[in-house]
Every structure is written in structure tokens, then in C-alpha cells.
Structure 1
Amino acid sequence: MDVSQAELDGARPYSTILLRAYDLWVLGFNNRFVWRCPTKHLRRLYDGNIAGDHLDVGPGSGWLLSHATYPVAAPKVTLVDLTERSMEMTTRRLRQRDIEPVSHVGSVLQPLPVDRQYASVAASLLMHCVPGTWDSKGVAFRHVADATTDDGVFFGATVLSYGVPDTALSRATGRAFQRRGVFHNQDDDLTGLVDALERAFAAVEVNTIGSTALWTARQPRRAMQPDAAIATDPQP
């Protein structure tokens, strides 16, 4: 993979030690008190949209996947992440539910390393770690669209820097994470997120809770198809 140093820096903090503290620190404290979007809202997003054949990009510690309510008794789950560590922890947790996921190392900024499409795809708390502005990192949504079935759904959540209410704590924490290279969301705004999603999906719904944007996107625009959002040459 041709992965930039900035992207590697965003993934590097997810060490074995951090992943062990992820549920308490990120899902527990940060989501509730810093970004003001308690993890129960992300869990509802999963429960309301996850399908029996699911692809999760950047699964973190696997908590959301291991606590999700699946619509079938024996779901199929595929994982994609830059690091093996995250997928290993997620795999251990899913095995406790008799789910044996398939794992692939890959970057969301490149075509996803999968050879088929999925009824649901999720990218939760991932995009604020991806370097670039929405004009550049929005390509990730095009790659997700290519991996989503025609009647499938893409859902996720990300912490924004603009277009959402903030607090002194959220601003200070966000800047600290940006200085350390953990977050790359210093230019991430709500309008840019919506535009990037709509370039990849025809039906997009975005809601905000605190500093976090949560979305569902349907009707993928294929990379090989003309993009309806791009103006065409006028007819004579």
C-alpha cells in the first residue's frame, strides 16, 4: 500500500495498550464528556442499520460490533483496518458471539481490499483520523460506495471542528489530538462532510449530536458510472 506518513500517524496510537483502554477512555469518557455524543447513539446507529453481511472499516476495539443487534442469527462480518492489532481484538470479541470475521489490512483512501459488495458498511470514529480535507479524504466515501450493494447502507460517525457546537474542553482536546497527529480534522466541517457523502451516495442523512456527526447514506454512485452531482456539457 502507498500509505502516507500522516495516515500511519493517525493509526499508530491504536496500540495494544490503548485498545485495552479504548472502551473506557474513548467510548466512555471522550464520547460523553468531550464530544458530548454518548456511545449509546452510535450503538443505536449500528442496531438500526447493520445487515447480516457487514463490512466495518476501522473497527476500533470492536465494542460496537460485539454489542450490535444483528438481523440474522449467523451474520457475516468483514473487517478492514490499517493495523492488525485493532482487527485482532475485534476478532476475539466477535468469536465470543460465535462470529468469525474476515480481516483485510487496507487504507480507506485506496480501493478497499475486498472483492465483493456488502449490504451494510460502517466507518465509525474513523474519518477524523484520516489526513486531508474533505476534497481529498472524501475519496474514501467513493471507495465505500464501490463496496456497497445497490440497496445497501453506509453509516458512521466522525468528530467535526466546524459547523457543530463546541466547548472549551472539546476545542482543547481536539487541538491536542491534532498536534499529536492522532486527529486530522482541523478543517473538517459539517457542510464539507455532507458534500463529500453526496458525491458518493444519492441519498444522505446527517445528524449532529454535540461535536459529532452521524450519517446514513444509500444509493451508491459507482465510480464507473457518471456522477449525477457533476454538471454535464450542455446539449445543443
Structure 2
Amino acid sequence: MSTNGVGKEEKAGAAVYTRGFLPLYDFYVLTLSNSIAWKCSRQRLLAHYNDNVSANHLDIGPGTGWYLREATWPTADPVVTLMDLNSNSLEMTSGRLASTGARVQTHIGSVLAPFGAGFGQFDSVAANFLFHCVPGTWEEKGKAFQYIADVTSDEGVFFGSTILAKDVKQNIVAKSLISLYNSVLHVFHNTDDDVSGLTAALDRAFEDVEVNVVGTVAVFSARKPRRIDSTTK
């Protein structure tokens, strides 16, 4: 999958997942940040995986693969496709799944680009804690939702979560981290991300959308992908 045309901001969001940082990610992000700042526990997000994951699964931006390793799969040997801009994340997640029975494939690519002919379709697609790192407004980020709809099967589900920064109640830790990650480190791009914009963007690509806000996190699922005739794209 080509990474041509990937912007500096998107690359910066992916570049934070270094070999040195990834071993710390589960504790710093999934335990401390989730519980103290974002007020949405990793167990809540794991339950979302368990409710939606299928035996034919695509995970976009898998991080360290913690959720994939801990998830309850509907079969002993699921086919799991991983996609990320960062090869470190793909390598670590693949390693974590090596002993689970999952058959793993990896692709380096951008969620803001079409997947391309022959990529296939999936019965579940996940993007967990990804879109707050993707640059642009919801209208711009939302282009990714149509690309995802294109690779979601008719009976499939697209699900995930993203940290919101607008029109949600934030404690002092959340406010400080949002400012740091957006204005100083430039790894977040979510200062204007709100639940109404996310819902509208998902609605343009899927007919059946559910979004719940837990703390500062939008936990979403979307079904019935809208098919766009190739002649109109």
C-alpha cells in the first residue's frame, strides 16, 4: 500500500510510536491516561472489541496490539489484517498475536487514502484511539470513513473510539494533555473534534451509526456501509 502523499502532520502523529515508547504505551496510555485524563477505561474499550470483533478483521492503527491480544475472538484462528503508517506498531502487534492462533497480515498505509483494488472486505474494522491523531476537520477526516465503508462487508461493522476536545467535560489533566499534544508535540489534531461532527461524518458513510460518549471519549460503531457508484467518485 502506497504512502505517497502522506502529510507531515499525519506522519508526526504516527512517528510517536517508537521502539522506545511502545513498551511504555500500555501503562502510560491504556492505564494512566485512560483512567485519569480521558475517564474511559481500557476495560470499557476491550468490551467494545469483544462486542464487535469478527473472524475476518481489519485493525487500523493497532498501537501495541493490547486489545487484539486480550479480545475474545469468535474463532480460534481469526484472520487479522493490520494497517498503520508505523512499522514499529505493526511489528509489535504481530509479535503479540503470534501465540494466539491468529493469521496476521500487515500493510503500511494511510487511513486518508483509498485502500485500493484487491484489498478485500472485512466483517469487522476497528480504529481505536486513531482519529484524534489524524489532521483535519471532521469533514476532512470523514473521507476516511467512506474508504473504510468500501472495505466493510454488507453485514460488517466499523467500530472504534476517539478522544474529543470540544463540548465535553474535561478535568485539569485532560485539558493539560490536550493542550500539550496539540500545541506543543503536535501528535493530536482534535481541538475542534466534537461528537456531533463525528456522528455526521459517520452518517455520510454508514446508514446505522451509534456513538456514546464516555468521559472525553467517543465510542462508536457503524453498520450498513453506504455504497458509492465508482462512476460518481
TM class by shorter chain equals over 0.9
1:73 to 46, 69, 76: 76
Any gaps of 5 or more consecutive residues in structure 1? 228-236
Shift in Å, 1:225:
7.2
The 5 Å alignment of 1:24-103 reads 24-103=27-106
Secondary structure of 2:103's partner?
Answer: coil
1:142 has 2:152 as partner: no
Which residue does the alignment assign to 2:207? 202
C-alpha deviations, 1:134-185, integer Å up to 9, x for none? Answer: 0111111111100100000000000001132211211111110002111000
Secondary structure of 1:51's partner?
Answer: coil
Any gaps of 5 or more consecutive residues in structure 2? none
Which residue does the alignment assign to 1:126? 130
1:19 has 2:7 as partner: no
Report if aligned partners of 1:91, 1:100 keep a CA contact under 8 Å in 2. no
Shift in Å, 1:74:
1.0
Secondary structure of 2:149's partner?
Answer: helix
Report if aligned partners of 2:94, 2:104 keep a CA contact under 8 Å in 1. yes
Percent pairwise identity: 44
C-alpha deviations, 1:51-96, integer Å up to 9, x for none? Answer: 0000000000000001110011210000010011101000000002
Q: Distance in 2 between matches of 1:161 and 1:12?
A: 22
The 5 Å alignment of 1:161-200 reads 161-179=165-183, 180-200=185-205
The 5 Å alignment of 1:219-234 reads 219-224=224-229
1:107 has 2:113 as partner: no
Q: Distance in 2 between matches of 1:99 and 1:71?
A: 11
Matching residue's letter, 1:182: V
C-alpha deviations, 1:95-140, integer Å up to 9, x for none? Answer: 0212231000000000125621000000000000000010111111
Matching residue's letter, 1:198: D
Matching residue's letter, 2:187: V
Q: Distance in 2 between matches of 1:93 and 1:14?
A: 16
Report if aligned partners of 1:157, 1:212 keep a CA contact under 8 Å in 2. yes
Q: Distance in 1 between matches of 2:188 and 2:104?
A: 27
Q: How many residues align?
A: 227
Q: Distance in 2 between matches of 1:225 and 1:160?
A: 33
Q: Distance in 1 between matches of 2:115 and 2:82?
A: 10
Shift in Å, 1:32:
0.6
Q: Distance in 2 between matches of 1:199 and 1:34?
A: 30
Secondary structure of 2:102's partner?
Answer: coil
Matching residue's letter, 1:147: V
Report if aligned partners of 1:163, 1:189 keep a CA contact under 8 Å in 2. yes
Q: Distance in 2 between matches of 1:101 and 1:84?
A: 14
In the superposition, the TM-score normalised over structure 2's length comes to 0.95
Shift in Å, 1:17:
1.0
Secondary structure of 1:17's partner?
Answer: coil
Which residue does the alignment assign to 1:231? none
Q: Distance in 2 between matches of 1:224 and 1:128?
A: 29
Matching residue's letter, 1:28: T
